Chain A
Amino acid sequence: MDQNTREELLRLFNSKLNQAMKFYLETCSRCGMCTHACHVHESMPQVKYIAAYRAEIVRRLYKRYFKKQGRIWPWMGESKELGDVALEELYEAAYSCTGCRRCMVYCPHGIDTQMLMSIAKLLLVGANSEPEILTLLADTSIEKGRSIDLLKTSFMQGVKRLEEEVVKKWKTEAGETTIPVDVEGASLLYVALAGAHSIIPAAAVFNAAKENWTLSFFEAVNFGAFVGDPTKTKLILDRIVNEARRLKVKEVCICECGTAYRVMKQLSGKQPFAVSSVTEVHARYIKEGRIQLDRFAFKDPVTYHDPCQIARNAGVIYEARYILNSLADDYREMSPDPKYNWCCGGGGGLVALGDETLDFRMKSAKVKAEQVNDTGAKILSTACENCHTQLSNLNDHYKMDVRVRFLSSMVADALVQPDALS
């Protein structure tokens, strides 16, 4: 690594050193409480998968370049030179961590390993050593923001073709638009993913609740966050913020995508609209009597996987239980306290890396498969696209014999139709 690259990387490192980060970097007492907290380590017990060990990779660079002792006597203590070997270690640490923050719940100091891994990811971006596909996905999202005016018409035509499927789940009345797009003055902007499965059930439920809604032109997911690039994260986020402001909506509802929800909720700043997850919105509709669900729509035992970014990291826990207890005969908790729920093993961009990470994802999430099996459930519900993909892969790999379902699609399937109501 040449001197210019090193200086640039240290500048990036420095840009992350706020008070919280310095606390995480200076506080670890090596108590070992996080050792068994990480699903990767519990499934594959190797030192490199201990949360504190990952953090140490970043911490040694910090000691070398940002602490007096490391700068004056770099050979003393545990400081480390920033070079190609360090980059390889940073890659291994960051891309074997899903950012689930389960370790943080166990740490007596609340050290946030995911935040420390965000330094590792930023340094990798700075050195052009991040996974290329994640940057391509982020750049594609940014390009879409730039050229959306050219693409709007074909998107609207594509959406129109889904209406028939929506109507099968909930019939719209004469004069109502089944999937409204680009409606100024709508109350709620729904931000979906590219897939039809992310739009059809949600549309049916909005229509059943008589919501004044409109569908976003953009996909909710933020690949800038996966790759750990704050500039790209903001550009991708701003597309939705600007659309919401232009349409003057009161609420932005994020589809079943954990990262999308957490980024929008925690990074969009003060805005004239509220941010909610589709799970929160569905729970609200049930509570307010805006939709009626068949209490016994699902007879088989159901369990729920809390997506880390929605539950542990953003606090949406109760709502999913409220929904499931409104439509399932036999709901079973996976963990006595949802904040200790195991990560599915697919976060942090690992699922987006596809087949490349499949072997690691399966091995590192063995404890998750066991946790699901222990419930005896036949339906495994979740509210995140990444989790759904990873849990489906685990289901095949470990022959778990469950049906993996999106919570929103279960709500749509449980809707009591108007003719049944009358």
Chain B
Amino acid sequence: MSEEIKADKVMDLRGMPCPMPVVKISKGIKEVEIGQVVEAHSTDPGSLTDFPAWARTSGNEILKTEQDGDVIKFFIKRTA
């Protein structure tokens, strides 16, 4: 079992049309302090490539990606 990460904000991005998941996470991450963590939920397979690419581009860090049934959970630390 991996280490528990405590999220400071949870975002439900399930089933959103393109490009809302990336648009929403870009805004959502700015609503937490640097060093804090956003937990984002998605059901879209494309988010598995979109989110890591977005994190590199925006300078944020994906701490962990986990699968919970149909839901993909990203734990993203604001570093920029």
Contacts and interface: CB of A to CB of B under 8 A. Distances in A.
Contacts of A137: 19, 22-23
A79 B56 CA distance: 43
Contacts of B43: 196
B53 A136 contact: no
Interface residues of A, number: 38
A154 B18 contact: no
Contacts of B26: 133, 136
B49 A352 contact: no
Contacts of A147: 52-53, 56
A151 interface: yes
A140 B54 contact: yes
B20 interface: yes
A148 interface: yes
Interface in B45-64: 45-50, 52-54, 56-58
A155 B19 CA distance: 17
Contact of B18 (A157, A162, A194): A194
Contact of B72 (A133, A158, A354): A158
Contacts of B21: 194
Interface of A is mostly: helix
Interface string A148-174: 101100110111011000000000000
Q: Size class of B's contact patch?
A: 20 to 34
B36 interface: no
Contacts of A162: 45
B12 interface: no
A143 B23 contact: no
A134 to B, nearest CB: 9
A280 to B, nearest CB: 21
B65 interface: yes
A136 B47 CA distance: 15
Interface stretch (A19-27, A216-224, A317-325): A216-224
B15 interface: yes
Interface string B25-52: 0100000000000000001111111101
Interface of B: 15-24, 26, 43-50, 52-54, 56-58, 65, 70, 72
Given A136-B54, A154-B49, 4 more contacts: A155-B49, A158-B45, A352-B23, A385-B17
- Ranked nearest first, the 4 interchain pairs of A and B with the lowest CB-CB distance are A194-B46, A158-B45, A144-B53, A143-B53
9 contacts: A133-B26, A137-B23, A150-B52, A151-B52, A151-B53, A158-B47, A158-B72, A194-B49, A354-B24
